[in-house]
């Protein structure tokens, strides 16, 4: 898997990862998803939690399941803190374990971005570590980038933003292409359909094309579906459970960003 593909998949995972510890308390929301491509390939959840009037934490985990897990095991964890007023990244931790190696990233967003990367490859027992400083440039980490879209005043939304991951700045564009009603647990959710575009080019049939289609409930800001496009079709994430405070995002959406 090349670096560009890794970045593409990681951004998808940041969008819809999960913490399996659901909670019904006010100020916390957990959404769990199944991922499928013709059949189920993984499980993921994301837990959002308000820490004070101006900050939100995101704790998440994803893992492969079934036959895919036997062939290509993958698990990821993410911990992020985002300032809501002003809206900006504060901290991001990323962990990945697959059949080839273990990876960890730490990002501290201050006057500069402090980036630390560690990896360990099992085959040759090779350990690599990097520590670098980058210009801040008003960038968002991938988790904050998707959260920013969720907190927009839907249904009308479009724009550009710059994200930062793996020591790279990436320009992202997003725009609403329509609306769709999605049924979940007997309720109908009116969703804005938003294309989230990352500059990726590929000739491979199994590499993401760089377009993520996100279905966001216009009343709550909850992601009700996500499609990752491939030349051969689309992988989808759909919710299997929503627990906690469904109005968590509402006051921040009404305030604007």
State pLDDT tens for residues 48-76. 999 976 899 999 999 989 988 888 888 99
**Residue 201, pLDDT score:** 54
137 φψ region: left (φ > 0), alpha (ψ -120 to 50), beta (else)? left
- What is the pTM (predicted TM-score) of this model? 0.83
DSSP assignment of 3-71 equals: HHHHHHHHHHHHHT---S----STTEEEEEEEEEESEEEEEEEEEEEEEETTEEEEEEEEEE-HHHHHH
Q: Is the pLDDT of residue 130 over 50?
A: yes
- Distance (Å) of CA 86 to CA 89, 182, 190, 252, 257: 10, 32, 28, 11, 7
Q: How many CB atoms are closer than 10 A to CB 131?
A: 10
Q: Which domain holds residue 61?
A: 3-255
d(CA 114, CA 111): 9
Give helix 142-150 / helix 3-15 axis angle, nearest 10°.
40
**Residue 200, pLDDT score:** 63
Domain count of the fold of the chain: 1
């Amino acid at each position: 898997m090349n670096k560009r593909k890794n970045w593409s998949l990681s951004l998808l995972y940041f969008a819809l990862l999960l913490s399996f510890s659901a909670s019904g308390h006010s100020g916390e929301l957990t959404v769990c998803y199944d991922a499928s491509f013709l059949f189920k390939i993984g499980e993921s959840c994301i837990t959002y939690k308000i820490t004070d009037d101006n900050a939100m934490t995101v704790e998440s985990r994803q893992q492969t399941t079934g036959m895919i897990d036997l062939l290509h095991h993958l698990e990821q964890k993410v911990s992020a803190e985002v300032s809501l007023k002003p809206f900006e990244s504060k901290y991001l931790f990323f962990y990945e374990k697959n059949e080839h190696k273990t990876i960890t990233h730490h990002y501290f967003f201050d006057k500069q971005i402090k980036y630390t990367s560690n990896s360990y490859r099992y085959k040759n027992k090779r350990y690599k570590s990097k520590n670098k400083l980058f210009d801040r440039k008003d960038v968002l980490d991938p988790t904050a980038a998707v959260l920013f879209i969720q907190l927009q005043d839907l249904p009308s939304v479009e724009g550009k933003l710059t994200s930062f991951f793996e020591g790279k700045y990436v320009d992202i564009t997003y725009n609403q292409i329509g609306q769709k009603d999605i049924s979940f647990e007997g309720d109908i959710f009116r969703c804005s359909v938003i294309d989230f575009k990352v500059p990726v080019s590929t000739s491979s049939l199994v590499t993401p094309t760089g377009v993520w289609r996100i279905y966001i409930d216009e009343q709550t800001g909850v992601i009700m579906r996500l499609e990752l496009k491939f030349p051969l079709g689309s992988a989808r994430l759909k919710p299997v459970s929503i627990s906690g405070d469904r109005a968590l995002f509402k006051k921040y959406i009404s305030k604007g960003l």
